[in-house]
Amino acid sequence: MRSGFSSSAFFGRGGERSWLVASACVALLVLAPFVSLGLIAAQGSGDLWPHILAYVLPQALRDTAILLAGVGVVVVTLGVGLAWLVTAYEFPGRRAFDWALLLPLATPTYIVAYAYLDLMHPIGPVQTGLRALLGLTDPRALWFPDVRTMTGCVLLLGFVLYPYVYLSTRAMFLMQAGSLLEAARTLGASRTRVFFRVALPLARPAIAVGASLALMEALNDIGASEFLGVKTLSVSIYATWINRSNLPGAAQIALAMLLVVVALILLERWARRRERYVSQAQRARRAAPLRLKGWRAGLAIALVSAPILVGFLLPAGHVASEAWKRVRFAGVSPQIWQEVLNTILVAGAATLVAATLGFLVAASARLSRAPVGGALLRAASLGYAAPGTVVAIGLMTPLFLLDNLIADGLEAAFGLSVGLLISGSGAALVYAYAVRFLTISAGGVESGLAKLSPSLDHAARALGQTAGGAMRRVHLPLIRPALGGAALLVFVDCMKELPATLLLRPLNFETLATHLYGEAARGTYEDGSVAATFIVLVGLIPVVMLARLSRRRALAWDKGAGDGEAMARDLLLPESAAAVSASAPPAQRGGA
């Protein structure tokens, strides 16, 4: 009698198992920081937890909760409203605004905060210009709202992170069938009521995904929150480890922060627990946008221009202006070129590692077609949900253990004393970056493989190819564009990453992000403007990619060359088309 459980069905067959073993090793590398986080936290003295619970966590949790609630309201309001405006209405310049609304993604939150602190300073250009206009000479004669407040932090982060909600919600609005919206209009519903009763409920899953991503980015932030006077959990972790040299205390705060991340993920899942996606056998017709004229068109242009101005043009323009002044006055410092080299080397190495490991875990899930393959892929993708401070704290124990193992082996074999080879070098940063952004490369490969017909696998195996041979000779050449695009996104994210870099960088090792942070900490924003300009220019690369992808998917949908599921998969997650396919629930397909 045959058993109901088949090991080959669960673990794969033959050569596929070697891919699964390698994938399991990758998953363990990703999970190691989370396991060690608890071990580090347990090393604290008995009176450490009461102190943290009494004096550290209350303010950190309160500020974090207020910040997340405020940012959530801002990004949902801006993202949903702008997405509906550019999809439901036609006005001059709409096509240009369609992609320009993504521009704030090019500017990291800490650069926006530094720029506005300089712009809104009492002797900065904004207040100086207003005083000159009003004929005032005393800086204290003009009251001006302070940026260094919780309200300022919420607004600045919201105007930078709203594209997460905008892009995913816009994709869902484009996918909605025009017949549904027109049926509501024929029943006497106004456009406002159609939006709230039909379009908005259908877009709730996309809104939940985009909002949760924006909130996790806000939670990961250190630079903007610290310089705007908001003591979040991330700031508390950094201060406890670096300023107080208390690693167990930082680990205990990181555990609390990890619980907040889990709560956000569960909240996002709960928000779309009853939602299902159904794609019809026939392509649905999109609703025709309503053409606006006169003052209504002007109002629409003003509404879509304001977020671009606040979230990108003002901070990026100020940074570029200060960089130009700095270069004209003193040229480009040789230190900047060294930091550019450091940034490129570390980000490039991390990209190579993440792309290789991401291909490995996604390919093993494709080849095995067993439940364990998909489980390992999800486990290897957990690092993307963890803030950089949490990953950095969790990496300390694995890195020290590995350093001690290497040092003991070299001393026993050759009598060499090498010290800390990994923890004291850029290898720690490469490991942290790979853990954080492995989801992007793995999701990119998975998204590319999902578009390949299973018949290719069968044909390759019928011609005598092994599982690995089929993947190398057939699949890899076909998914090379997807892998290359994911690698580019990983590289850009590594260049912009600040929290993990601050905590794990070697001594006397500066990247563009840490250089800018150091100049801002000293109050010399103009000295960091050149580094900030480099970061913004590099950050424009994924924005251009997303704009092209968005336009191509929209045209394909209009012409019937694509389907709604493909658009949702490729556009639902702005940072990477990949990670959506790794995190979104499977679609329920209808029709043929």
Sketch out the chain's domains with CATH numbers. Answer: 33-273+285-584 (1.10.3720.10)
User: pLDDT exceeding 90 applies to what percent of the chain?
Assistant: 14
Q: What pLDDT was estimated at residue 274?
A: 59
Give 326-387 as a 3 state SS string. Answer: HHHHHCCCHHHHHHHHHHHHHHHHHHHHHHHHHHHHHHHHHHHCCHHHHHHHHHHCHHHHCC
Query: How many angstroms separate the CA atoms of 325 and 115, rounded?
Result: 15
Q: CA 37, 41, 43: angle at the middle one, nearest 5?
A: 125
Q: Which range has the worst mean pLDDT, 68-77, 93-102, 203-212?
A: 203-212
- In 3D space, the residue among 199, 185, 209 whose CA is nearest the CA of residue 88 turns out to be 199
Per the listing, tokens 């891919």 go with: 19
Give the HSE-up count for residue 503: Cα atoms under 13 Å, Cβ half-sphere.
31
**Strand ranges for 102-175 from DSSP E:** none
**Using one digit for the tens of pLDDT, what is the confidence trace for 541-567?**
888 877 776 666 655 555 544 444 444
Per the listing, tokens 């043009």 go with: 313
Query: How many angstroms separate the CA atoms of 143 and 127, rounded?
Result: 9
Is the Cβ–Cβ distance between 553 and 570 less than 8 Å? Answer: yes
Query: How many angstroms separate the CA atoms of 105 and 206, rounded?
Result: 18
**Using one digit for the tens of pLDDT, what is the confidence trace for 185-202?**
666 666 777 777 777 787
Residue 295's contacts (CB-CB under 8 Å, 6 or more residues apart) are: none
More confident residue, 111 or 528: 111
User: pLDDT exceeding 70 applies to what percent of the chain?
Assistant: 81
What value does the CA radius of gyration of the chain take, rounded to a whole number of Å? 25
Per the listing, tokens 């299902």 go with: 276
pLDDT at residue 573 is higher than 60: no
pLDDT band at 285 (very low <50, low <70, confident <90, very high): low
Query: Of 279-283, 468-472, 482-486, 511-515, which one has max mean pLDDT?
Result: 511-515
Mean pLDDT of 526-544: 85
pLDDT at residue 283 is higher than 90: no
Is the Cβ–Cβ distance between 468 and 363 less than 8 Å? Answer: no
pLDDT at residue 179 is higher than 80: no
pLDDT at residue 512 is higher than 70: yes
Mean pLDDT of 55-73: 89
pTM: 0.80
Chain centroid to Cα 267, Å, comes to: 18
What are the start-end ranges of the H helices in 42-108?
Answer: 48-51, 57-88, 94-100
Mean pLDDT of 381-393: 81
